[in-house]
Structure 1
Amino acid sequence: METFVLAGGCFWCLDAAYRALRGVEEVVSGYTGGDTPNPTYEQVCTGATGHAEAVKVTFDPELIAPDVILDAFFTMHDPRQLDHQGHDVGTQYRSAMFPADDAQRELFERARERASELWDAPLGDVEGTIVTRIEPLGEFFEAEDHHQDFFAKNPTQGYCLAVAVPKVNKVRARFAEYAA
């Protein structure tokens, strides 16, 4: 098994989209990248903790390649939006990747380069620049229980219908051979 920690806006969307892929064994929503120990959702939402809403994605690389996990990450959110995704605004919604080691850092850097092709914007372009950060992996704090597998528990919730469903559908369409 391999685990990546990724942040790309609200963790509910990333959680839902990754759970739609065969080979993903576990997705845990949480917070990382900041200075506040054991933050709460309310604290993270203020933007004052420095943490990002993130997911810890554990997958079987024999069933789904690490590059697919990373390309799906760049499919399910817009990596050109600095410190927000849609109406979710603040550093807690930043696009970031948190490598556990140098090997992951290299994978993440290559994925970020591939994303520039997906989003039709060269990395050096001012317009449409990929702003995804690669930050050191600090401590990962699990989000509260009600945030885990939120989409499955709340499929008719407004945010899920308006924001998560289109992202899940986009990932399922692009990675149909991995659809769970």
Structure 2
Amino acid sequence: MINVGFGGSCHWCTEAIFQSLVGVTEVLQGWIDGSEAVIVIFDENVISLATLIEIHLATHSCTSEHSLRGKYRSAVYTNELGDTAQRIINGLQRDYKQPIITQVLPLGEFRLNNPQYLNYYYRDPQKPFCENIVKPKLNFLLERFGKYTRMGVQK
């Protein structure tokens, strides 16, 4: 099993996206170096790092600088796979008109979120935030990356 961190969007959205993927065995939701993020533990024999990064870039604003980037840093966090992650991002640049701002950073200090916020979407998908914010991202995931998901259709 390999672990890698991802940040860039609300960690509730990011958690639900990665929890929905085959080959992902665990998603830890919280903060990496003070920015909302998740740690994804995955089986590289089922899903590749390249696929995880492609999905990550496609499911958040990976080309957009905005005032909340401190809280929602666009990043891939890893200690062993930094060069590989950067090559993957560089190769995916061709799919974007604007420059990708996602940084490859060392996997620093991780702080797990409070228990009541873990598994946020799948514990209660009827919450207004889940319905209005998370569900559209999961629908996009299903439409664009359906072969990598374990989800049913989210209507």
Q: Is the aligned partner of 1:17 residue 2:32?
A: no
Q: Is the aligned partner of 1:117 residue 2:117?
A: no
Structure 1 range deviating more: 144-153 or 110-119: 110-119
- 1:3-29 Cα offsets, whole Å, 9 max, x none, are 111101100111111111111100010
CA RMSD of aligned residues (A): 1.5
Equivalent-residue separation in structure 2 for 1:157 and 1:148 (angstroms): 14
Structure 1 range deviating more: 163-172 or 57-66: 163-172
Equivalent-residue separation in structure 1 for 2:26 and 2:66 (angstroms): 26
Equivalent-residue separation in structure 2 for 1:83 and 1:134 (angstroms): 18
The residue type paired with residue 131 of structure 2 is L
The residue type paired with residue 32 of structure 1 is I
- The aligned runs of 1:137-152 (5 Å cut-off) are 137-152=107-122
Distance change >3 Å, CA 71–CA 90, structure 1 → 2: closer
The residue type paired with residue 111 of structure 2 is F
Q: Hey, what does 2:55 align to over in structure 1?
A: 72
Secondary structure in 1 matching 2:141: helix
- 1:63-106 Cα offsets, whole Å, 9 max, x none, are 1111111111111111012256xxxx3411121111112xx112
Q: Is the aligned partner of 1:96 residue 2:79?
A: no
The residue type paired with residue 175 of structure 1 is F
Q: What is the CA-CA distance between 1:115 and the residue it aligns to?
A: 3.4
Equivalent-residue separation in structure 1 for 2:137 and 2:91 (angstroms): 19
Aligned pair partner of 2:106 in 136, 140, 144: 136
Q: Is the aligned partner of 1:166 residue 2:136?
A: yes
Gaps of 5+ in 2: 151-155
Q: What is the CA-CA distance between 1:151 and the residue it aligns to?
A: 0.4
The residue type paired with residue 99 of structure 1 is T
Gaps of 5+ in 1: 34-50, 122-127
Structure 1 range deviating more: 18-27 or 159-168: 159-168
Query: Percentage identity across aligned positions?
Result: 27
Secondary structure in 2 matching 1:137: coil
Secondary structure in 1 matching 2:6: strand
- 1:127-175 Cα offsets, whole Å, 9 max, x none, are x221112222211111111221100123122222222112112222222
The answer to whether the Cα contact below 8 Å between 1:83 and 1:94 also exists between their aligned partners in 2 is: no
Q: Hey, what does 2:153 align to over in structure 1?
A: none
The residue type paired with residue 87 of structure 2 is R
Count of residues in correspondence between the two structures: 150
Structure 1 range deviating more: 165-174 or 66-75: 165-174
